[in-house]
Amino acid sequence: MEWPDVANRIEAGEDERTEFKLNFRDRSATGRAICAFANTDGGIVVLGVDNSRKVVGVSEDPEQTQERLSAYLQSGCSSPLNARLGRHRHAQGWVHWITVTRQRGFEPMRCDGRVWVRRGRSTVEPSPTELQDLFNAFGYVLTEEQVIGPASTADIDPHAFRDYLRDLDIDTDTEPQPRSDDDLRNRGAVAERDGELRPTLYGLFAFGKDPQRFPQTRRFFVECVAYGGADQAADVLQVASATGRLDEQVDRALGWFKSLGRSETYEHVRRVDHYLLPVSVVREALVNAVAHRDYAITGSQVLLEVFEDRVTLTSPGRLPNHITAASVRAGGRPRSRNESMANYLLTRRYMEQRGRGWLLMRRGMRDFNGTEPGIHHDAEARWVQVTLHLGSTAEGP
């Protein structure tokens, strides 16, 4: 940006893309503004101008000021910044400016260990929702098609992929066979980035060797917690993390649930195990939570909680594609957020039939104790919760 453009900015005053500073003595204040522009839509920080748009000039040696600014752009924030420096000798003294472009890195820029954004004429810390949207804008994790940069095709388990193909009734033994990379690409398990094939989010969680190994994916699992009372303030009795691929998360979480206790009856000479809830109902709730969670929400996991009177499954994200809680209860037509993941679980026979999940859960709970499963959707906080009652008197909302 040249001086005439900067002069026009000064005359117009501070706005969402222009910030004035007297000098560079308060490095943190200037750094926060630079960081905010980098995280938002870019902008310009002008040194030597007061808040009333009056040019007062920077008294320090101009060469030293430029050197200090250049050094700060390399090391003052969480990573080097892409910005350009300029200066102009005004009648009142030297004016310096930093033209900041919006950054495209692995995650949002930080100054003093915190994320900053531009809101109107102010530099502020983002709200939780803004912060999550910011992570999404930087491509931290968006959808099941998102390429996971640190991963490689070596992180895909070829045996898991072949098992899936066999479930699709595809011959994996008779020659000739497609190249492995071509097969993975055609199935959406890998995609090209910077000239190399890398796993997608779907590819890792359907066929990955260790899906939670990467920074973007480490929270994508089922957290299992059993409490000794009716709420989270009660004593925690047992905790486990069900990690792995999609099907492994369901199996491990279900295994943990079954370990909480059972009773036995006998029909003729055969033993029948009875768990806290019908295993088929819990499994259906787990499958839906894992398949339909919003993978753009990186900081939270699916939560399976067991209380003294109920079991809840909480999945991050709003109900997808304008589905309402009422339409879920009515068994409305399914519209998945993650089509490939849902189809994977259907192929692996974890889903019986798309759209029947809630109806099967309802029938299972009615046969078990006469209750209705409940579903609560908090669009603002971005989570969906299913409640399964252990007693025989409660009804779902």
Q: Where are the alpha helices (DSSP H) in the chain?
A: 3-12, 27-39, 62-75, 128-137, 158-167, 180-186, 201-207, 246-259, 279-292, 325-329, 339-347, 357-369
Does residue 148 sit within a domain? no
Do 105 and 33 belong together in one domain?
yes
pTM of the model: 0.65
Same domain, 102 and 162: no
Same domain flag for 227 and 374: yes
For residue 366, the tally of other CB atoms under 10 A from its CB is: 12
Closest CA to 117 of 15, 16, 27, 40: 40
Within this chain, do residues 184 and 316 fall inside the same structural domain, yes or no? no
User: Hey, what are 277's tokens?
Assistant: 């809830």
- Contact (Cβ atoms closer than 8 angstroms) between residue 175 and residue 243: no
Rounded to whole angstroms, the Cα distance separating 42 from 179 reads 44
335 inside domain: yes
Same structural domain for residues 34 and 53? Answer: yes
Give 134's Cβ-side CA count (13 Å radius): 24
* Residues recorded for the chain: 397
In a domain, 146, yes or no: no
Residue 266 sits in the same domain as residue 295 = yes
pLDDT tens for the chain, residues 1 to 397? 899 999 999 999 999 999 999 999 888 899 999 999 999 889 999 999 999 999 999 999 999 999 999 999 998 888 888 899 999 999 999 999 999 998 876 678 889 888 999 998 899 998 876 776 676 666 555 578 888 988 999 999 999 999 999 999 998 888 888 888 999 999 999 998 878 999 999 999 999 999 999 988 989 999 999 999 999 999 999 999 999 999 999 999 999 999 997 655 555 556 556 789 999 999 999 999 999 898 877 667 999 999 999 999 999 988 765 577 776 776 655 567 788 999 999 999 998 666 678 888 999 999 999 999 999 988 777 889 999 999 875 544 4
Of 137, 168, 187, which closes a domain? 137
Please state the domain count of the chain.
Answer: 3
Domain boundary among 105, 137, 169: 137
Q: What would the DSSP string read from start to end of 354-376? A: TT-HHHHHHHHHHHHHS---EEE
The tally of CA atoms less than 13 A away on the side-chain side of residue 210 is 8
- The DSSP bridge partners found for residue 208 are 156
- Is residue 43, in this structure, part of any structural domain at all? yes
Are 132 and 299 a contacting pair, CB within 8 Å?
Answer: yes
* Residue 147 forms part of a structural domain: no
Is residue 207 located within the same domain as residue 248?
no
Residue 319 has what DSSP assignment?
A: P
Q: Among candidates 18, 100, 23, 14, which has minimal Cα distance to 51?
A: 14
- Tell me, yes or no, whether 209 and 226 share the same domain: no
**Residue 241, domain member (yes or no):** yes
Q: Does 30 lie in the same domain as 158?
A: no
CATH number at residue 262: 3.30.565.60
Query: Is residue 36 within 8 Å of 116, Cβ to Cβ?
Result: yes
| In a shared domain, residues 107 and 13 | yes
Question: How many angstroms separate the CA atoms of 224 and 304, rounded?
Answer: 5
| Pair (83, 209) in one structural domain | no
Q: Has residue 395 been placed in a domain?
A: no
**Cis upstream peptide for 178 (omega within 30°):** no
Query: Does residue 289 lie in a domain region?
Result: yes
Select from 213, 186, 185 the least CA-distant residue to 199: 185
Q: Which domain holds residue 75?
A: 3-137
